[in-house]
Amino acid sequence: MFKKWKWFITILLVAAVMLVIRLEDQGVVDTPVRKLVTTSADLTYLSELGQSWLNQEKETIMVSSDVGQTELLTFANAKAFKEGFLLQYDVGLPVYAGQNGLVVFTGHTKYTGKTMTINYEDGTTVSYGMLDSLAQLPYTPIQTNDLIGMKEAGQLYLAIKKGDTHYDLEQMVQWLEMTETNEN
């Protein structure tokens, strides 16, 4: 009988922490819950623990089509923002890695919301911000066409830096086109 209660209490704790974090993300709660749960590994552990208890397994669907940066080139307009650009999209889109690299940051920032930063093999560092979901964890090696995250219709933040140089809009478009050319 005690095992059932322990299981139930743990599920409630996980659900409560995840709910409070969502409320914190929406600005409803001022308590810095993310600081209390100290690392993304803690959150990942709690999430995986809750999913395993609820028998919700992650499902992988294999597809065979050319994916990549092409959809990122379909933005309706762009405006400068911080070190990058806000790209406007009329429809949602998946965001894929342009080449092999290493995820160096995955998290939430004040100005760009859910953000992922990747150091690519060509020496560029690319930050994808204002994503609606993230598909990779920090310090994860990625391959060309690995899913980075999803973006619903609206603005996507994109900043590309090589060395000390931040790319302007023309350089950014050229880099996206180059990564698309290298995929085919």
- CATH number of residue 91's parent domain: 2.70.70.10
pLDDT of 56: 43
Residue 132 falls within a domain, yes or no?
A: yes
Total residues found in the chain within this entry: 184
Q: Same domain, yes or no, for 49 and 74? A: no
pLDDT of 57: 46
Residue 110: is its pLDDT beyond 70? yes
Contact 161, 83 (CB under 8 A): yes
The encoded tokens of residue 173 equal: 């478009």
Q: Same domain, yes or no, for 81 and 170? A: yes
- Mean pLDDT over 20-34 rounds to 70
- The mean of the pLDDT values for the chain is 77
Q: How far is CA 25 from CA 35, 71, 127, 174, in A?
A: 13, 28, 20, 34
pLDDT of 49: 58
Residue 128: is its pLDDT beyond 70? yes
| Lowest pLDDT segment from 12-16, 92-96, 143-147, 150-154 | 12-16
> Domain range holding 138?
69-183
pLDDT of 142: 92
Residue 63 falls within a domain, yes or no?
A: no
Q: Same domain, yes or no, for 31 and 78? A: no
Q: Same domain, yes or no, for 79 and 130? A: yes
Residue 184: is its pLDDT beyond 50? no
Contact 87, 72 (CB under 8 A): yes
Q: Same domain, yes or no, for 25 and 104? A: no
Q: Same domain, yes or no, for 31 and 94? A: no
Q: Same domain, yes or no, for 48 and 128? A: no
Contact 127, 112 (CB under 8 A): yes
pLDDT of 25: 74
pTM value is 0.61
